[in-house]
Chain A
Amino acid sequence: MLTSILIILFLAVIIGLVLGFSSVQFKVEGDPIIEKIDSILPQTQCGQCTYPGCKPYATAIANGEADINQCPPGGESGVRALAELMGVEYKPLNESHGITKPKSVAFIDEDTCIGCTLCIQACPVDAILGAAKQMHTIIEKECTGCELCLPPCPVDCITMPEVEEDTENWKWKYPVYNISNVTTNKSKATH
């Protein structure tokens, strides 16, 4: 009787130590599910999902506060990836948050710009360069096309031209061809 209690006690202490040690040593920082959701989101930081950025939206999805179909830049493929990750049913994009647009990049008309810095403050990825009363310009490579710089501009000098296809970003197209209809040919021959 006593030996068995001692053995159980001994095991409990050992296992307790191991678990205690590993909880300190292998501590997982942050919530991995939020990171995973965040890596699917397109990082446009546009706020169309009603959250102030991609990470807050990811957190909201992880907490079950937001739906998976609120991200127009992520598009249908984004919703599908989120559905698969969260183990829920796919649902079409909620159009009250906007529709998926082709990728575009902001462009400042430098003749009209008055250098008010309002767009710089609005840019979520610091992709606008300029200073007070100096002309501003977009760092094209960093711009996510979120359109957040459009409303604050007092002189409406920012436009969002679509990214044009050129020889560098050109892709081979999906091969489209007609498959010859063997059965009708045959049936014609036999009849």
Chain B
Amino acid sequence: MSLIEKIFKFNGGINAETKKNISTLLPVEKIKIPKKLILPLRQHIGNMPKIKVNVGDYVLKGQLIAEADGNVSAAIHAPTSGKIKSIEKLLIPHPSGLPDYCIVILPDMKDKWIEKNSIDWKKIGIDKTIKLLLNSGIVGLGGAAFPSHLKLGSNRNNKIETLIVNAAECEPYITCDDMLMREKSEELIKGIQLVQELLGAKETIIGIEDNKPEALDKINLFLKEQSSIKAKVVPTIYPSGDAKRLIYLINGIKIPKQKRAVEFGIQMFNVATIIAIYRFIEYGEPSLSRILTITGNLHKPKNYEVLFGTSLKDLIKKSGGQINKNDTYIMGGPMMGFKLPSIDISVTKTMNCVISAEEDMIKEKKEPLPCIRCSKCAEACPVELQPQDLFWFSKSDQFEKAQSYNLFDCIECGCCSYVCPSNIPLVQFYRYAKSEIIAKNIEKEEADIARERNDFRVLRLEREKKERAERNAKRKLESSSGDKSKLIAEKRAEIADAMNRINKNENIK
């Protein structure tokens, strides 16, 4: 049996009802340009980009409006032509429900492009191409939003042998990648060829769950002559779409703790990200839109192709509104997503799916019971952690203990919470513990800087004191030892000398 057929099964995982078919009945609908676009500056992992436009400026479609700040950052472009209405703090899709800086554009409906230039990457070289990609605004569209140029540049230190295309889309409800593969399969294969060349990888494996036969058929249509690209069907077990889980399913390689896949010659991209990279290199189009699933408790669940900045509320209205009014919406999947504090927000790069919560998804309704240490969570954990211990340590603020039990290896997949017979919101505890530890580490770093600066100041004050004392001592010495009268006498002699010379000169005249 060849490698392409063999499947390596990871520990645990769950077999939840996928409910994907409710949003795949209708084709992807392309949404027209809305009247207003709200673009949050924070749409990715890393530094907030620097604003490059002023209020009142006219911008063209694809024009850079915020530039990447440093290497771990991503740019933002105008999704269509129009006027910058304002730059202000507005609600963004974030679990906190806090406002953040956004650029508001009023489209002029002309949809006028900037000059688009395709990139001849073979001619300008890979280094320059990656530099251009830094300001392409492309980030991982699977939901993590990690800047893509960093991943493409990863082959400089590590030789990449295999490109794995993540088409697993393992979370229930989400179908945006499925629909993208069905409708843009040719572009996807071209994109895969390009990314494979960019990485210098020998082969590509598309990892796809067995619940997407239509998408697989479409891809296979274009794969016939491609010998280096293969599709590998993996079983529908959540979370097969997690990077390390998918690598194991496909290659049987277990990436150890604190190591990255690139160190094993593997790089992974989501299907939507691959198409975004292809469109940027081939047509010079930056990241302006995405496919997004609007599903769940709605009259017309569907996938939409929308410009970033489009109002989410309008999309939900377009999907016919909620069947049972409960106003609970989840962004991302039901397993890893978070409850949206409001739907008065806009579509961002990270928004792959919005679910109007169905009755059984509203977790607060199930009251948690005490932990009975049944260890069902440990059986379900795909990372092979001890969720019951992590829960105990996080609950009692024993963060060092939690870290020694590898809290940061937790991928927050939610399998433990799903199987817990006591309905304990385990992942919420891990998220709490993680963010507390991160905040503590930042505090520690700041304290170290303060200590250094204070040490330096104390040193400087001492030095200044010493220097002043030395200067004073010197001055005292000079005045006391009768040097002063000697100095005056010397000066007087010099003056007399000069006067003599003047008199002499006058006499000669």
Using a CB–CB distance below 8 Å, which chain A residues touch chain B?
38, 41-45, 53-55, 124-127, 142, 144, 165-175, 177-180, 182
Q: Is B119 an interface residue (CB 8 A)?
A: no
Which of B8-16, B20-28, B319-327, B429-437 is found at the contact surface with chain A? B429-437
Given known A171-B439, A173-B432, A179-B368, contact A126–B453 (CB-CB < 8 A) = yes
- Cβ contacts A to B, 19 pairs, < 8 Å: A43-B446, A43-B451, A53-B454, A53-B458, A55-B454, A55-B455, A124-B457, A165-B96, A166-B100, A168-B42, A170-B94, A170-B435, A171-B432, A171-B435, A172-B434, A174-B432, A175-B429, A177-B425, A179-B368
Residue of A nearest to B40 (CB): A167
A180-B98 contact given A125-B457, A167-B42, A175-B429, CB 8 Å threshold: no
Contacts of B495 in A (CB 8 A): none
Most buried by B among A41, A43, A174, A180: A43
Please state if B439 and A125 are interface contacts (CB–CB under 8 Å).
no
Given contacts A144-B446, A165-B96, 12 further A-B contacts (CB under 8 A): A42-B443, A43-B454, A45-B454, A142-B450, A166-B98, A167-B92, A167-B98, A168-B48, A174-B432, A175-B425, A177-B425, A182-B369
Residue B361, interface by CB 8 Å: no
Which of B370, B428, B446 is close to A179, meaning CB atoms less than 8 Å apart? B370
**Contact residues in B for A182 (Cβ distance below 8 Å):** 369
Alpha-carbon distance A38/B451, docked complex (angstroms): 9
B95 partner residues in chain A, CB cutoff 8 A = 172
> Which residue of chain B has its CB nearest to the CB of A144?
B450
Question: Are A170 and B431 also in contact (CB < 8 A) when A53-B454, A124-B454 are?
Answer: no
In the bound assembly, the distance between CA atoms of A167 and B100 in angstroms comes to: 7
Given contacts A172-B431, A179-B368, A180-B367, contact A142 B453 (CB under 8 A): yes
> B498 on the interface (CB 8 Å rule)?
no
Q: How far is the CA of A142 from the CA of B367 in the complex (A)?
A: 45
CA distance A167 to B92 in the complex (A): 9
Contact of B96 among A41, A124, A167 (CB under 8 A): A167
Q: Provide the bound-state CA to CA distance between A71 and B428, in Å.
A: 32
Report A-chain residues with C-beta under 8 Å of the C-beta of B458. 53
Contacts of B42 in A (CB 8 A): 167-168
Shortest distance from the beta carbon of B133 to any chain A beta carbon, whole Å: 25
A172 is contacted by which of B364, B428, B446 (Cβ under 8 Å)?
A: B428
Rounded to whole angstroms, the CA-CA distance of A43 and B453 in the bound complex is 10
Chain A residue numbers with a CB within 8 Å of B55 are none
Query: What residue of chain B has the Cβ atom nearest to residue A166's Cβ?
Result: B98
B432 touches A125 (CB 8 A): no
A171 to chain B, nearest CB (A): 4
- Give the residue of A41, A126, A180 whose beta carbon is less than 8 angstroms from that of B457: A126
B residues with CB within 8 A of A: 42, 48, 92, 94-96, 98, 100, 364, 367-370, 425, 428-429, 431-432, 434-436, 439, 443, 446-451, 453-458
Most-contacted residue by chain A among B94, B364, B453 (CB, 10 A): B453
Residue of B nearest to A124 (CB): B454
* Residue ID in chain A nearest B429 by CB atoms: A175
Given A165-B96, A172-B431, A179–B369 Cβ distance below 8 Å?
A: yes
When the two chains form their complex, are residues B454 and A179 in contact, meaning their CB atoms are under 8 A apart? no
Task: Specify which chain B residues have a CB less than 8 angstroms from the CB of A41 in the assembled complex.
Answer: 447
A42 to B443, CA, bound (A): 8
How many angstroms from the CA of A38 to the CA of B444 in the assembled complex?
Answer: 12
A160 to B141, CA, bound (A): 41
Residue of B nearest to A175 (CB): B428
Closest chain A residue, CB of each to CB of B96: A170
For the complex, give the distance between the alpha carbons of A142 and B447 in Å: 9
In the complex, the answer to whether A171 meets B436 with C-beta atoms within 8 Å is yes
Partner of B453 from the list A38, A125, A169 (CB cut-off 8 Å) is A125
Interface centre among B42, B439, B457 (most CB of A within 10 A): B457
A167–B95 CA distance with the chains assembled, in angstroms: 9
Q: Name which of A174, A175, A178 has the most chain B CB atoms within 10 A of its CB.
A: A175
Most buried by A among B448, B451, B455, B458: B451
Closest to B449 in A: A142
Residue of B nearest to A41 (CB): B447
Query: Which residue of chain A lies nearest to B367 when distances are taken between CB atoms in the complex?
Result: A180
CA distance A62 to B274 in the complex (A): 59
Q: In the docked arrangement, what's the CA distance between A54 and B447, Å?
A: 11
B367: chain A residues at CB < 8 Å are 177-180
Is B450 a contact of A44 with CB atoms below 8 Å?
yes
Contact A172 B432 (CB under 8 A): yes
Closest to B425 in A: A175
| Cα separation A174 to B92 with both chains bound (whole Å) | 22
Which residue from chain B places its CB closest to the CB of A174 in the assembled complex? B432
- B429 contact set on A, CB distance < 8 A: 175
In the assembled complex, which residues on chain A have CB atoms less than 8 Å from the CB atom of B436?
A: 171
Give the distance in Å from the alpha carbon of A180 to the alpha carbon of B428 in the complex: 18
Contact indicator B368/A177 (Cβ below 8 Å): yes
Distance from B114 Cβ to chain A, minimum over Cβ atoms (Å): 30
A170 with B98: in contact, given A43-B447, A124-B454 (CB under 8 Å)? yes
Knowing A172-B95, A180-B368, A182-B369 are in contact, say whether A125-B450 is a contact too (CB < 8 A).
yes
Which chain B residues border A42 with CB–CB below 8 Å?
443, 447
**Minimum CB distance partner of A103 in chain B:** B443
The answer to whether A43 and B450 have CB atoms under 8 Å apart is yes
In the bound complex, how far is the Cα of B431 from the Cα of A173, in angstroms?
8
Contacts of A167 in B (CB 8 A): 42, 92, 94, 96, 98, 100
Query: Which 4 A-B pairs rank lowest in CB-CB distance, beginning with the nearest?
Result: A180-B367, A43-B447, A43-B450, A172-B431
Given contacts A172-B431, A179-B367, contact A126 B92 (CB under 8 A): no
A103: min CB distance to chain B, Å: 9
Chain B residue with the shortest CB-CB distance to A38:
B451
Residue numbers in A under 8 Å from B92 (CB-CB): 167
Closest CB in chain B relative to A163 CB, distance in Å = 11
Minimal Cβ-Cβ distance residue in B for A181: B367
Tell me which residues across on chain B come within 8 A of A179, comparing CB atoms: 367-370
Report which of A125, A168, A173, A175 forms a contact with B454, defined as CB distance below 8 A: A125
The complex places the Cα of A179 from the Cα of B448 at a distance, in Å, of 41
A80 to B95, CA, bound (A): 32
> Which chain A residues lie closer than 8 Å to B428 at the CB level?
172, 175
A124 to B23, CA, bound (A): 60
